[in-house]
Structure 1
Amino acid sequence: MKTLKFFLILIFCLGSINIDAQINIKDKLKRQTNNRTNKNVDQGINKGLDKVENGVKDLFKKKNKDNQDSAAVDQPLAGNQDSKQSLKAFSNYDFVPGDKVLLYEDFSQDAVGDFPALWTTNKSGEVNTLNVAPGNWLNLNATEGNWWFLKQIEFPKNFIVEFDVVPKKGAPRYAVGVTIYGENGFKEMSDPYASKTGLIINIAKSGWESHGIKAGSPRISGDSNLKPVEEEKLNHVIIWVQNRRVRIYHKGEKVLDMPTNLYDDSKFTRFGFMLYRGASSASYVSNIKITTASPDTRNKLLTEGKLVTYGIYFDVNKDVVKPESYGTLNDIAKILNEVPEVKVKILGHTDSDGQDAANLDLSKRRAASVKAELARTFGVNADRLITDGMGETQPVAPNDTPSNKALNRRVEFIKQ
């Protein structure tokens, strides 16, 4: 408006200017005035649109937050960022490891670059570290051969074998073969296909093969193409043998279930790995654990008053309950929900690796995580559960070998 007044005064003072010039100036002033008016209108509209847009953004932000908060209710544990899958995703993991560890091998006592002391081979191999997983790994450094654990193992009728495998690229067919067999007489390097009785699990690029063997008898075989292992990635394989029945688990599924895979008189004492000429690539293996299976949970907990389990899993130095623990926790929860008056104390235990204070804290946090999963996933009344951790203070074996350390890493349930 001030500008408009200035031009009007100027026109009044310059009376000698001709009419055409005055008309031109007036038109110019009119155009400028209209432009300014339009500009102000545009600015007003833009401000209004900005308010609407910001309001819509705020609405979506609130809705997204509400959705996130709602989704968080279904997470297995508060603060459970390390768990990529919930226990519910592993609901068909129905195996329950027992209270005896028959073998645990993570090659932690072997020097990197050496062949492991408790093993033998007819080819080559060495202990390596990997960039895709922690710890030491046995590199089956050939495309054929046998790698046997030297000591005999008295396998019961009911047992569980677990191990991690990282297959190398380029396998024409097999990543690795798992051999569990019985001998007529002990040989360091025996032939499982010529054994008295045996079980051979071939882990293929496309799936799984299972062969029950008995000298002089045809093989009992089964196969599956569900959830095969992935090359250059960590794969956790679980094999449950229950009398004649063989089940294999991988990636949250039961990938093979053979109800009559073994002969009645099967008896096993040896364990190892095989690769096949022209059909295999080298692989890395570690974290081999063999346990008894299916303990009498009810009797141990309700009658004897104490249940020791090696079937609740955690990553190293972490307190997140891994989904593979589903079968064990489900088994315990069934008993607790059937007998609602029973109260239980959950105790966590560690081995002696690391600092005493850190192990004590870790054991307490693990016991608390077990309680949280029993309440959240299986509906056990949390008021019936108390927790504590003993750290490394109550070992059941010397902390001198991987197998003994595995015995000390346990969770106990004590009837109150």
Structure 2
Amino acid sequence: MYIKLTFLLGFTYFSLIAKAQIRITDPGKVAERQVENRANQKVNQTIDKGFDKVEEGIGSIFKKKDKKPKEEPSSGKNEKPDNASNENENTRIAESETVASVSTEKPTLKSYSKFDFIPGEKVVAVEDFSQDAIGDFPAKWNTNSAGEVVTIAGTEGKWLMLGPEGVFYPEFVTKLPENFTLEFNLATTSDFSYYSGFMRTVFAEVTNPAKNFSVWKGFDGDKQRGLELGLHPKDAGGQQGIANFNVFEGPAESIMKNEKSFPAFHVPEHNVVKVSIWRQKSRLRLYVDDFKVWDLPKAFNTTTNYNFIAFSNQGYHVETDRYFISNIRLAVGAPDTRNKLITEGKFSTTGILFDVNSATIKPESYGVLKDIANVFTENPTVKVKVIGHTDSDGDDAGNLVLSKKRSESVKEALAKDFGIDKSRLETDGKGESIPVSPNTTAEGKANNRRVEFIKL
């Protein structure tokens, strides 16, 4: 499919025609925004020179489109994934091929055997951009730059494309307790330049973030306190990704910093990764997919009132480079599996994740399953009933069947991958019949999609 971009300047029109993998609803609207952004960012350049660079850049980023991986058979339930979007079938969608091809090689639960991430106990914020129209900046966010919601071929749901140098933050996050987890998907354009800046995740204490925007060092003047985690898809040789870490106290340079490499994700077959961040009081852990990048015992300042999350783009060396974020999930609390299961007799988790409309367990669930398996190992006489629960999307009967299949999958995983005797595990499913939160919000639905363990 081809996309036609029309730029308006005085009485002159010209067209650029190209293939791409980002699906955009209103090409004319996007083109006009790009012209406006270019004028604001490069006032000392002539319009013609700016357009020449755009034309050259667009020609350089197009890659052959990969075939979309086959989807797994549906269980019959019309379940909405964590990062799915609601798109109008009558919406005009153009395909433009800029981003990442998605790997067709699916990781297994066993491949995540070193992944010990455990998400927070309660989901308090979910952002999948499903409420936002393609081509718009998300309504619940703010920025001092430019960005828009797009789709990426071969992936589910919508993404926020981060524009030129600036800060992008969700206005609905106003408090970060001493125990929380943040998860999100990160993607880049295929030929991302080594000289383009890092994508940084910022945690800070801020009284008025919109008052004094900057790429990071100007937040709230001299009251700036916080830390930032930078990620870049490639190093100078292109063989590794780069991660850096900085802690700031006031307007001075960072008081703690470090840098290290992690497995690259700039290669064409793998431009999408899962980022997981875990805070336990002062301790910080950062994972890219199953690789643990940081495990720092004294990263967070326990006297800082962290109330702000932002994604900061340091700037693109090549105009067609872009970062994309999606499927953001913030959870709070420190799960206490042993105490709740052994002492209280009941443990519930939203950290065992499944493929959409499926009972297949996602590999990033490994840390939670391992934690539960350890309880069985340390308490050899304990027997448990595993109960699956769903949200209210889809029909009741389909949800009930799906919840039962998912509880069986958990039983099989604990037996096969962790050596737990099946005789110690019973299974059941309740579908959508016992919600713990209203099914009226994304956060409520995320909390209702859970697996419960009840001591027998």
Q: What's the TM-score, normalizing by structure 2?
A: 0.68
| Match among 219, 229, 234 for residue 201 of structure 1 | 229
Residue 137 of structure 1 aligns with which residue?
A: 159
1:392 aligns with 2:420: no
Instruction: State the identity %.
Output: 40
Distance 2:230 2:453 in 1: 37
Distance 2:117 2:441 in 1: 26
| Match among 109, 124, 138 for residue 102 of structure 1 | 124
Residue 353 of structure 2 aligns with which residue?
A: 313
Residue 136 of structure 2 aligns with which residue?
A: 114
Distance 2:207 2:273 in 1: 33
Residue 148 of structure 1 aligns with which residue?
A: 169
Residue 380 of structure 1 aligns with which residue?
A: 420
Length, aligned pairs only: 334
1:246-268 deviations in whole A, cap 9, x for unaligned? 22112322123333333342331
Given that 2:198 and 2:314 are in contact with CA atoms closer than 8 Å, whether structure 1 keeps it comes out as: no
Distance 2:419 2:365 in 1: 16
- Cα distance, 1:287 vs structure 2: 0.8
| Match among 270, 273, 289 for residue 235 of structure 1 | 273
Distance 2:300 2:367 in 1: 24
1:331 aligns with 2:371: yes
* TM alignment of 1:17-416, pairs within 5 A: 84-140=106-162, 142-168=163-189, 169-171=191-193, 172-174=195-197, 176-185=199-208, 187=210, 190-191=213-214, 192-193=216-217, 194=219, 196-206=224-234, 207-215=242-250, 218-230=254-266, 233-279=271-317, 281-292=321-332, 294-416=334-456
**Structure 2 residue ranges without an equivalent (≥5):** 1-103, 235-241
Sort the Cα spacing of 1:188 and 1:376 in 2 relative to 1 into closer, same or farther, 3 A: farther
- Cα distance, 1:189 vs structure 2: 6.6
Given that 1:139 and 1:284 are in contact with CA atoms closer than 8 Å, whether structure 2 keeps it comes out as: yes
Distance 1:258 1:173 in 2: 27
Distance 1:138 1:384 in 2: 45
**Structure 1 residue ranges without an equivalent (≥5):** 1-81
2:366 is paired with a residue of what secondary structure? helix
Distance 2:445 2:305 in 1: 27
- Cα distance, 1:162 vs structure 2: 0.8
RMSD: 2.3
Distance 2:137 2:208 in 1: 25
Distance 1:231 1:243 in 2: 35
- Cα distance, 1:175 vs structure 2: 5.4
1:226 is paired with a residue of what secondary structure? strand
Distance 2:251 2:361 in 1: 46
Distance 2:390 2:120 in 1: 18
Sort the Cα spacing of 1:372 and 1:174 in 2 relative to 1 into closer, same or farther, 3 A: farther
Larger radius of gyration: 1
1:282-311 deviations in whole A, cap 9, x for unaligned? 222111111135411111111222111121
- Cα distance, 1:167 vs structure 2: 0.9
* Letter aligned with residue 200 of structure 1: E
* Letter aligned with residue 243 of structure 1: K
Distance 1:357 1:235 in 2: 34
Given that 1:371 and 1:387 are in contact with CA atoms closer than 8 Å, whether structure 2 keeps it comes out as: yes
Residue 15 of structure 2 aligns with which residue?
A: none
- Cα distance, 1:186 vs structure 2: 5.8
1:61-93 deviations in whole A, cap 9, x for unaligned? xxxxxxxxxxxxxxxxxxxxx983333332222
* Letter aligned with residue 383 of structure 1: S
Distance 1:325 1:270 in 2: 27
- Cα distance, 1:315 vs structure 2: 2.2
